[in-house]
Structure 1
Amino acid sequence: MKILLYCLNYSPELTGIGKYTGEQARWFAARGHEVRVITAPPYYPAWRVGAGYRAWQYRREQHDGVQVWRAPLWVPSRPSGLKRVLHLASFAASSLPCLLAQWRWRPDVVMVVEPPLLCSPAALLLGRWTGAKTWLHVQDYEVDAAFALGLLKQPLLRKLACALERHAMAAFDRVSTISEAMLRLARDKGAPEARTQLLPNWVDLRAIRPGRGSLYRRRLGIPADATVALYSGNMGNKQGLEVLAQAARQLRDRPDIWFVLCGDGAGRAALEQACAGLPQVRFLPLQPASRFP
């Protein structure tokens, strides 16, 4: 089967949507499917394009049996509401030639990973041209999140975004998402129940198990018998990580409780400032799987 994945985030990003989409593509390829990916250069969660890549460059790669087409995008150093919209729109526009080039390849399945929702109309068009089944996989309801967090406030923009979302939910042959609550929301937004599918994210229990962190404890100077609260992932606005800073400050006189905050993102600098002077807090960049003890 020929499977086309159309996604903003992909490997080698270590967290978030890119991690799961990369693993999914490799899983398909390992089972004999012909897989192509249209994506952007890696930039998340640091909001900086990764080493060896350029923001405004088209390039093609081959990894683990997957053919990857990367399209340019604009990456704001300080993402705000309008900047995020322009960021997503830049990829939707620049990736369009890559998507249309798949017409000759004629995929059997076109799978779009949301966000960005802006990529859905072109994917539906390609599916119609080629006869491919279309699949929308929702990792995050970006429209709801943007307005709930106050990143976007314009009523007209919300009306247009919700209209696009309702159309996408009704038009795709399959709509999946990562939790039961999000699946119910997809149906509320117009996805026919018969076309919806639960597709939760996953974790490799063989690689990540409690009680194997002694090496990191030694590196970070954490006592072997201390209790460690670990956060790993994106450090943005919607994660609410200021709660961890508040908890660490309230527990600053408890040498048996430590906090390890691992990741990057638009909110990391503010989080580091909130934790300044706390002896039992350690910050780390995202750690590749090869460093797991």
Structure 2
Amino acid sequence: MAKIIFVNRFFYPDQSATSQILTDLAFFLAEESHEVHVITGRNIVGEKVTKLRRTEIINKVTVHRIGRLGMQSPALVSRSLDFISFYWLGAIQLIKHTTHRSIVVVETDPPLLSIWAWWLLRTRQVRIINWLQDVYPEVAVRFGVRFTRGRVGDFLARLRDQSLRNAAANVVLGSRMAAYIESRGVPRASIRLIPNWVDDRAIHPVESGANPLRKRWGLGNKFVVGYSGNLGRVHEFETVLAAAELLRDHRDLRFLFIGGGFLYEGLKEALRRRSLDKLAIFMPYQDQSELANSLSVPDVHWVSLRPEFEGLIVPSKFYGIAAAGRGAIAITEADGEIAQLIAAHKCGAIITPGDGAALADLLNLMIVDRALGAAWGRNARSMLSAHYSRTQALDRWSQLIRSLDQDSPKATG
């Protein structure tokens, strides 16, 4: 069986999104008798200081933890130091543990790990899989990060393209991401589409009347519009805010926000300034054991992605919403990744970013006709079971690993 080395800044027991799917995959492949190692950081998202052992074996996976120990900060200087520490100490671990015929799987935290791994392993006979959770440096460029503008950004993109072309496989999360990577000269044969997943056995529909959180949070028979997870820079809340303005006097409506993120406090403040906070309920991230209940509290969820990030990022929270048997309102481009799934499977609606009036009209309709949201939810769960289940995703990964393990390794070039 193969020796597989994963590289990502976060891993179990961290509960961030990329950590959870990496943990799922690493444990699964270890159960298939592969030798699995993970090179990861020493911190947990949202915790000040976490004393995790530098090396330990968890569920047959050997974990090597590196880097600075301390509070995770969004500040540019702090993040840069975290990244530099990870690149340097991770290089030592990667060279130490990579052997002939190893398969190295790198995610995208910290950014541009594909360049890092390709350069470190360029003379070794190993197979590299780039697992693209997002596409850098383009994401940074569109954020307006000064360092990545102009010639520097172009140079990094060319290096990134070369690293992807020299990889054994490049796993992407959606069809638009696949098309973008191919447009950069990456061979189509090396691109594998494997969407992210959730544990659809643990996350399942919970009827409103039987949901303990709905009662605990005082929602009763209100129509609940939910957002769950990270509300970050690639998202927007202005459309929802505009709809809330138009619906401010609706007694049967509540907006529920569960989670956190860069925009979270700004949204709270914007609602307060407009005296709309009576319509909103804010809750922290919920424990994984509560996700079936928390994701089932809303009658409908909303997801958003700023149009300039389509093809570079996929809002994978959509799959958790579907697992809970709830429909989604996509505040995205009409031909965006999630919008296309919603249209194809009739499990929600699409709202043009900025069109708060259209969103308000839709919510007014759904409050009156609650059967519409229920039908979307049934369709969403059916879609997930048929095409995007955890079992299907892990099986696709297993097939990819087996196919590469049978190939003769080549120097990465």
* TM-score interval, smaller chain: 0.7 to 0.9
Give the structure 2 partner of residue 101 of structure 1. Answer: 96
Give the structure 1 partner of residue 258 of structure 2. Answer: 262
5+ residue gaps, structure 1, are none
CA distance in 1: counterparts of 2:18 and 2:81, whole angstroms = 19
Q: Structure 1 122/107 Cα, relative in aligned 2: closer, same or farther at 3 Å?
A: farther
Q: Which moved more, 1:266-275 or 1:231-240?
A: 266-275
CA distance in 2: counterparts of 1:107 and 1:212, whole angstroms = 50
**Which of 227, 230, 237 is matched with 1:234 structurally?**
230
Q: Is the 8 A contact 1:169 1:190 kept in 2?
A: no
SS in 1 for 2:278: coil
More helix by share: 2
SS in 2 for 1:140: coil
Alignment-mate amino acid for residue 52 of structure 1: T
Question: Taking structure 1 as the reference length, what is the TM-score of the superposition?
Answer: 0.85
1:141 and 2:135 are equivalent in the alignment:
yes
CA distance in 1: counterparts of 2:119 and 2:149, whole angstroms = 28
Give the structure 2 partner of residue 88 of structure 1. Answer: 83
Q: Deviation at 1:290?
A: 1.4
* Identity score, percent: 26
Q: Deviation at 1:237?
A: 1.3
Alignment-mate amino acid for residue 206 of structure 1: R
Q: Structure 1 164/129 Cα, relative in aligned 2: closer, same or farther at 3 Å?
A: closer
Q: Deviation at 1:66?
A: 1.2
**Which of 154, 161, 166 is matched with 1:166 structurally?**
161
CA distance in 2: counterparts of 1:240 and 1:79, whole angstroms = 20
Alignment-mate amino acid for residue 23 of structure 1: D
Give the structure 2 partner of residue 118 of structure 1. Answer: 112
Give the structure 1 partner of residue 191 of structure 2. Answer: 196
Q: Structure 1 230/30 Cα, relative in aligned 2: closer, same or farther at 3 Å?
A: farther
Matches within 5 A, 1:1-293: 1-44=2-45, 46=46, 49=47, 51-53=49-51, 59-73=54-68, 77-80=73-76, 84-85=79-80, 87-103=82-98, 106=100, 108-125=102-119, 127-152=121-146, 154-212=149-207, 214-223=211-220, 225-276=221-272, 277=275, 278-292=277-291, 293=293
Q: Which moved more, 1:127-136 or 1:138-147?
A: 127-136
Q: Which moved more, 1:178-187 or 1:106-115?
A: 106-115
Q: Is the 8 A contact 2:67 2:82 kept in 1?
A: no
Higher radius of gyration, 1 or 2: 2
Give the structure 1 partner of residue 352 of structure 2. Answer: none
Question: Taking structure 2 as the reference length, what is the TM-score of the superposition?
Answer: 0.62
Q: Structure 1 290/211 Cα, relative in aligned 2: closer, same or farther at 3 Å?
A: closer
Q: Deviation at 1:60?
A: 1.8
Q: Deviation at 1:238?
A: 1.0
CA distance in 2: counterparts of 1:227 and 1:167, whole angstroms = 50
CA distance in 1: counterparts of 2:34 and 2:207, whole angstroms = 36
CA distance in 2: counterparts of 1:212 and 1:64, whole angstroms = 34
Q: Deviations over 1:231-269 (max 9, x none)?
A: 112122112134334433432322222222111222222
CA distance in 1: counterparts of 2:170 and 2:49, whole angstroms = 34
5+ residue gaps, structure 2, are 294-413
Q: Is the 8 A contact 1:4 1:37 kept in 2?
A: yes
Alignment-mate amino acid for residue 157 of structure 1: V
CA distance in 2: counterparts of 1:70 and 1:242, whole angstroms = 39
Alignment-mate amino acid for residue 215 of structure 1: P
Q: Deviation at 1:17?
A: 1.6
Tell me the C-alpha RMSD between the 2 structures.
2.6
CA distance in 1: counterparts of 2:72 and 2:170, whole angstroms = 30
Aligned length: 284
